[in-house]
Amino acid sequence: NAGVTQTPKFQVLKTGQSMTLQCAQDMNHEYMSWYRQDPGMGLRLIHYSVGAGITDQGEVPNGYNVSRSTTEDFPLRLLSAAPSQTSVYFCASSYGQGTGNTIYFGEGSWLTVV
C-alpha cells in the first residue's frame, strides 16, 4: 500500500527555472493538498483540491500552479523559481467531505533554489 508518493526527493534549481513536483495517492481520496515547511513556521498550505478538475488557493499560492486531472494525481508547478521557494514540500491527501479526517502525507521533497 503506497499511500502518498511524491517525487523527486531532492532537487536543486537555478533562479528562474521551472519544475514540477509530482504527487500521487492510491487511497481514492477526494482531497489533496500541497504544503511547504519552513523552520519556525510549521506547515503552510499552498494549494488544495477537493476533486478532479477542482483546485483552489491556500495560504501561500504565489509562484505555484496546480492542476487535478485525475483523482490520483496532483502535481505542483513552480513557474519561475526564486530563492524564497527553497523549502521542503509535502503533498497530502484525505477523505473529502467533513472534518476530523486524518491527513496522509508524502515523504517530502527538498527543494533548493540557487
Q: Per CB under 8 A, does 90 bind other proteins? A: yes
Q: Per CB under 8 A, does 2 bind other proteins? A: no
Give the separation between CA 34 and CA 50, rounded to whole angstroms: 12
Q: Per CB under 8 A, does 12 bind other proteins? A: no
- Contact residue for other proteins among 27, 50, 52, 79 (CB under 8 A): 50
Q: What are 83's strand-pairing partners?
A: none
Per-residue CA distances from 106 to 10, 18, 38, 84 (Å)? 13, 22, 16, 22
Contact status, residue 104 vs residue 39, Cβ threshold 8 Å: no
Q: Per CB under 8 A, does 107 bind other proteins? A: yes
Q: Per CB under 8 A, does 13 bind other proteins? A: no
Choose the binding region for other proteins from 16-24, 65-73, 74-82, 95-103 (rule: CB under 8 A).
Answer: 95-103
Q: Per CB under 8 A, does 52 bind other proteins? A: no
Q: Per CB under 8 A, does 43 bind other proteins? A: yes
Give the separation between CA 46 and CA 80, rounded to whole angstroms: 16
